[in-house]
């Protein structure tokens, strides 16, 4: 199947106002340098030999310093002023609005700090990898402390009069006020905690046909990932699947790559990771080709990005109709004999005693997130020191999930995020919430039975097309709240997610 | 084994003149952006999905325009003037000399042309790949014509009063006058043509044990490449081996990657390609770590680079002592039963009827090069049109080698080079000539018998160390002629290469 792409005219046409063309010429170069950095980042995670770290740090630092220099230059300031006076239509004005936002956010950050931060992140990632492999938090601590100091310095340069954590949060989520997120967190806690308690008290014993079958070889699992990517219409000529320590997606509308990683004891782990990352890629691939390099051709926020991965992971690949259609293929690959119902149960087990975020179920996942956001914030605001992170982590794990990890590798060292940024984890929860709301809107538009039938039949093109039509093709045209309203008719709300999990897990766990 | 690196102090120390530090700060950023481009280029050849071409072209164009802008800026001109007045020592002065050369060469080239050229080369590479796969020169012709026009425009901007071909030649070979190259070509022709004729008339029938054993699987060949890379001390933490249509090396002292490609019918093809590319990587890895980003930490010219690949390919892996040591390992991998002498003969067969440059033997290879240089120059100087290339190619193949290809895929479409540049092929011949001269100097320094013994025993570290000491560690400190004199005590000469091939092939072909 061809990649779904929206059919829009480019905004930089010969008849566009000269001031606009001048601005976009400057901006597109910045944007292309940034997408070049993305390739270097992918390479560092997937293909680079270890010794390359020193050079990669320098390359990425030179790129970030250069884009920063261009984004904050007087030439850019002048071009923005001129473009804003040019009387532009809505789409072009949206491009200018986004460029203005980035210009303003960066102009008071010194270039030397940008360069230092980028270089430090490259170094820090390598140190994190080593520390995780050796279960050695002390090895990672100095890098984390430096990162915290540099990120706080950056946030204070951007907005000296506002809390650093909020400023960092807006890097990923520019259009959803932190207060609104906090309300959503409260709504979720109020709904999820009793639901998890009920499930823990339930006698239901969900099937585990894939784990029961014993270890699966990497090649077997790769075959299964390939099969589901075919079903999802992931285009071979615009993507690739690799293995990395931490699954991720990188790229743009022309080249959106995903990674996964294989756990021998549970093939559903890589399977759901692959579908999750496909969801991220589906967003990139749904951005309009002819807006490449413009804000209108780029993804909006990390929460919206995550809504796409969550939609495919949870609302497609964790549904009963999906397994009614796909279980035969899964059995063929894995040499198992699961029924559709057993497979459906297998991917929907709730494990409050799980330690690892990326392996968490749809309910406890958000407690893993809340824990991280709290530590994040306490670190940034100086309420805890870097040295205290492992102890605080273990304490909160015990408090929220009733388990504590035996090692930091399975605890506070498990995620790559703190080798680069703070205030990023909330994107996962926003994504789950928005995915449920989009799923509801899609089902209302296409028909509940039809969506189930399409998923059952593996005819997934119409679902991707709906998402492209309502989310992807807009790029950064609308702020998040407007996009959510455009797509679903309502502001972002936790209601649909809670409804969805209550219905699904209520049925699975016979409440 | 640890990677051999020279132990030099960095040139940008706190006590360096401020003018020098200012210049190097600007230049290192440029250099890091350029090495970032190198990663994007590697990715395009090795890992990028096809659809990514459009985006990659934009990314590389933005990078080249940005480095061009910085290299030719007024700030750079001022920094150069100031550094030149600062009374620097030899090493720092060499850095400044090299930066000055690049600044002067680029300052009259318009940035838009640089951007256009880079983007066109990305496009052109993709078209070349398709045209080669489909044996369709007409598909490639328009891209080649545009490239020619753009490259001529660039050469005329650099030096309007000098022949465009000479200006292009100096991109890769700044310090070896084109006239000197022409003399070397004449010496070679005078020596090689009669030698090839004698070999064609010889009754000798060299052994082909590896071809005789039938097709080898890719995995088998990869195993053999891995084994020889281990023997060569290619460091896993600073390199990697991949497969690409055209074998190449990419990287720097921290991350020097090589590629190869497997022909089922002849495992020695990939084997020698792997050793050849290792030779390129050995140069990068031998550059001083602490000069990364400075001219003193970069390779000197394409001819010198090629001398390193040729040294390892021909003067190590095509010698009898090498096969006396390695034939057992090769037999184990390939399931063959060759003797050392048979293996030595197998990798030294002369095939005047071979059509493909990268598969050519050590003698006819240079006729392939001369043919390309002649077409190159005729194209650039307008003596032939793009449409005439296939016919002229076939005519010259017949004239020099007595064979003509049946398809353009095996003819003028075989090499990637014309999708990017002209006047590059001579580097291969300069490399062979210099490799023989360096081999002679090394053997005089270390002792003929000792070098043979080291190669026999697979104890190759001392050879790499000698090359690092005499070539690699200098980076661009000396112009080519000075480097050759430093390393060998004499100017570049075809004499040693001719002596070497006459002795070797005289013995092999019982002349």
pLDDT 10s digits, B254-281: 999 999 999 999 999 999 999 999 999 9
Which is nearest to A253 in space by CA: A8, A500, A485? A8
Alpha-helical regions (H) of A204-347? 209-212, 218-231, 267-286, 302-310, 320-334, 340-346
User: Which of A197-206, A304-313, B284-293 shows the lowest per-residue confidence on average (mean pLDDT)?
Assistant: A197-206
Summarised one tens digit per residue, pLDDT across range B206-253 is 999 999 999 999 999 999 999 999 999 999 999 999 999 889 999 999
Over 60: is that where the pLDDT of B138 sits? yes
Write the ipTM: 0.92
pLDDT of residue A4: 36
Helix axes B365-380, B389-401, angle to 10 degrees: 150
Q: A83: pLDDT confidence band, cut at 50, 70 and 90?
A: very high
Over 80: is that where the pLDDT of B106 sits? yes
pLDDT of residue A119: 87
CA-to-CA distance for A31 and A22, rounded, in angstroms?
14
User: Which of A122-136, A317-331, B72-86, B136-150 shows the lowest per-residue confidence on average (mean pLDDT)?
Assistant: A122-136
Reported for B317-323, long-range contacts at CB under 8 A and 24+ positions apart, including other chains, are B317/B228, B317/B271, B317/B272, B317/B275, B317/B347, B318/B272, B318/B344, B318/B347, B318/B348, B318/B362, B319/B344, B319/B452, B319/B455, B320/B344, B321/B452, B321/B453, B321/B455, B321/B456, B322/B455, B322/B456, B323/B347
R_g of chain A computed on alpha carbons: 23
Catalytic residue among A170, A173, A277, A342: A277
CA distances from B499 to A76, A153, B322, B350, B467 (A): 62, 66, 20, 17, 21
Q: Is B277 a catalytic residue?
A: yes
Q: How many domains does chain B have?
A: 1
CA-to-CA distance for A113 and A68, rounded, in angstroms?
10
pLDDT of residue B2: 36
Q: What phi and psi values does residue B250 have, to the nearest 5 degrees?
A: -145, 140
Question: Does the beta-carbon distance from A255 to B48 stay under 8 Å?
Answer: yes
Question: Does the beta-carbon distance from B238 to A58 stay under 8 Å?
Answer: no
B368 is in an annotated binding site: no
Q: Is B290 on the interface with A (CB under 8 A)?
A: no
Question: Does the beta-carbon distance from B49 to A255 stay under 8 Å?
Answer: yes
Interface with chain B: mutation pick from A26, A49, A129, highest number of B CBs within 10 Å: A49
Question: Does the beta-carbon distance from B62 to A32 stay under 8 Å?
Answer: yes
Q: B363: pLDDT confidence band, cut at 50, 70 and 90?
A: very high
Three-state secondary structure along B156-217?
HHHCCCCCHHHHHHHHHCCCCCHHHHHHHHHHHHHHHHHHHHHHHHCCCCCCCHHHHCCCCC
A63 → closest Cβ in B33, B50, B254: B33
Q: What phi and psi values does residue A108 have, to the nearest 5 degrees?
A: -95, 5
Q: Is residue B218 part of a domain?
A: no
Q: A511: pLDDT confidence band, cut at 50, 70 and 90?
A: low
Summarised one tens digit per residue, pLDDT across range B109-126 is 999 999 899 889 988 988
Q: Is residue B379 part of a domain?
A: no
Catalytic residue among B116, B277, B324, B342: B277
Over 90: is that where the pLDDT of B3 sits? no
Summarised one tens digit per residue, pLDDT across range A411-445 is 999 999 999 999 999 999 999 999 999 999 999 99
Residues 235-254 of A with CB under 8 A from B: 235-240, 251-254
Q: Is residue A444 part of a domain?
A: no
Helix axes B302-310, B267-286, angle to 10 degrees: 130
Q: Chain A: give the shortest CA distance to residue B289, in Å.
A: 9
pLDDT of residue B14: 85
Q: Is residue A361 part of a domain?
A: no
Residues 6+ apart with CB under 8 A from A123: A53, A57, A143
Summarised one tens digit per residue, pLDDT across range A195-226 is 999 999 999 999 999 999 999 999 999 999 99
Reported for A213-222, long-range contacts at CB under 8 A and 24+ positions apart, including other chains, are A213/A334, A213/A335, A213/A336, A215/A264, A215/A265, A216/A262, A216/A264, A216/A267, A216/A334, A217/A264, A218/A243, A218/A262, A218/A264, A220/A267, A220/A333, A220/A334, A220/A335, A221/A262, A221/A267, A221/A270, A221/A271, A222/A262
CA-to-CA distance for A127 and B312, rounded, in angstroms?
35
Three-state secondary structure along B92-112?
HHHHHHHHHHHHHHHCCCCHH
Q: Which helix (H) or strand (E) holds B243?
A: strand B241-243
A–B interface: beta-carbon pairs under 8 A: 122
Domain containing residue A142: 18-172
Structural contact between residues B174 and B298, judged by C-beta atoms closer than 8 angstroms:
no
Q: What percent of chain A has pLDDT over 90?
A: 91
Q: Is residue B303 part of a domain?
A: no
Mean pLDDT of chain B: 94
pLDDT of residue A8: 41
Q: Is A286 on the interface with B (CB under 8 A)?
A: no
Binding site, annotated residues of A for Zn(2+): 276, 280, 306
The Cα angle at residue B304 between residues B302 and B310, in degrees rounded to 5: 100
CB atoms < 10 A from the CB of A153, how many? 15
Question: Does the beta-carbon distance from B39 to A59 stay under 8 Å?
Answer: yes
Over 60: is that where the pLDDT of B375 sits? yes
CA-to-CA distance for B189 and B196, rounded, in angstroms?
10
B507 is in an annotated binding site: no
Q: Is residue B289 part of a domain?
A: no
Q: Is residue B309 part of a domain?
A: no
Question: Does the beta-carbon distance from B48 to A253 stay under 8 Å?
Answer: no
Structural contact between residues A215 and A265, judged by C-beta atoms closer than 8 angstroms:
yes
> B152-183: b or e for each residue (b if 16 or more CB lie within 10 Å)?
bebbbbbeeeeebbbbbbbbbbbbbebebbee
Residues 6+ apart with CB under 8 A from B237: A49, A50, A51
Q: Which residues of A touch B241 (CB under 8 A)?
A: none
Q: Chain A: give the shortest CA distance to residue B98, in Å.
A: 20
Q: Is B226 on the interface with A (CB under 8 A)?
A: no
Rounded mean pLDDT, B95-102: 97
Higher pLDDT, B14 or A344: A344
Structural contact between residues B478 and B297, judged by C-beta atoms closer than 8 angstroms:
no
Q: Quick one: DSSP state of residue A361?
A: -
Which is nearest to A357 in space by CA: A417, A267, A315? A417
pLDDT of residue A32: 97
Q: Is residue A9 part of a domain?
A: no
CB atoms < 10 A from the CB of B200, how many? 12
Q: Which residues of B touch A35 (CB under 8 A)?
A: 55, 58-59
Structural contact between residues B280 and B258, judged by C-beta atoms closer than 8 angstroms:
yes
Q: What percent of chain A has pLDDT over 70?
A: 98
């Amino acid at each position: 199947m061809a990649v779904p792409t929206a059919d829009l005219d480019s905004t930089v046409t010969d008849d566009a106002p000269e001031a606009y063309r001048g601005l976009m010429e400057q901006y597109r170069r910045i944007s292309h340098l940034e997408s070049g950095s993305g390739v270097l980042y992918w390479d560092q995670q997937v293909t680079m030999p270890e010794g390359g770290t020193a050079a990669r740090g320098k390359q990425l630092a030179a790129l970030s310093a250069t884009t920063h220099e261009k984004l904050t230059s007087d030439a850019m300031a002048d071009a923005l002023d001129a473009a804003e006076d040019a009387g532009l239509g809505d789409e072009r004005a949206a491009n200018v609005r986004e460029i203005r936002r980035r210009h303003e956010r960066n102009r008071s950050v010194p270039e030397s700090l940008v360069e230092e931060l980028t270089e430090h992140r490259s170094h820090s990632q390598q140190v994190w990898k080593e520390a995780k492999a050796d279960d050695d938090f002390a090895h990672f601590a100095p890098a984390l402390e430096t990162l915290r100091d540099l990120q706080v310095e950056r946030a204070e340069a951007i907005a000296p009069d506002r809390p650093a954590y909020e400023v960092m949060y807006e890097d990923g989520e520019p259009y959803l006020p932190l207060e609104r997120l906090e309300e959503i967190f409260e709504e979720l806690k109020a709904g999820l905690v009793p639901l998890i308690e009920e499930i823990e008290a339930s006698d239901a014993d969900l099937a585990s046909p894939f784990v029961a079958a014993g270890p699966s070889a990497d090649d077997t699992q790769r075959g299964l990932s390939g099969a589901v990517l075919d079903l999802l219409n992931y285009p071979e000529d615009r993507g690739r699947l690799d293995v990395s320590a931490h699954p991720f997606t990188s790229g743009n509308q022309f080249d959106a790559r995903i990674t996964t990683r294989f756990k021998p004891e549970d093939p559903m782990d890589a399977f759901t990771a692959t579908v999750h990352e496909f969801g991220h890629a589906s967003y990139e691939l749904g951005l309009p080709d002819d807006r490449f390099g413009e804000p209108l051709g780029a993804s909006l926020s990390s929460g919206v990005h995550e809504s796409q991965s969550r939609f495919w992971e949870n609302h497609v690949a964790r549904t009963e109709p999906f397994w009614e259609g796909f279980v035969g293929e899964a059995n063929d690959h894995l040499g198992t004999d699961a029924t559709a119902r057993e497979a459906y149960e297998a991917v929907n087990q709730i494990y409050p005693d799980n330690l690892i975020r990326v392996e968490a179920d749809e309910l406890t996942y958000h407690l893993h997130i809340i824990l991280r956001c709290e530590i994040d914030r306490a670190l940034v605001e100086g309420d805890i020191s870097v040295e205290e992170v492992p102890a605080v982590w273990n304490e909160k794990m015990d408090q929220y999930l009733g388990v504590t990890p035996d090692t930091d590798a399975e605890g506070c060292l498990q995620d790559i995020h703190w080798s680069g940024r703070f205030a990023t984890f909330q994107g996962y929860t926003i994504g789950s919430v928005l995915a449920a709301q989009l799923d509801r809107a899609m089902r209302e538009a296409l028909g509940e039975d039809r969506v189930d039938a399409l998923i059952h039949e593996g005819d997934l093109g119409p679902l991707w097309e709906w998402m492209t039509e309502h989310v992807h093709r807009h790029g950064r045209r609308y702020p998040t709240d407007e996009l959510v309203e455009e797509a679903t008719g309502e502001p972002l709300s936790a209601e649909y997610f809670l409804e969805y999990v209550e219905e699904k897990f209520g049925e699975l766990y016979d409440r």
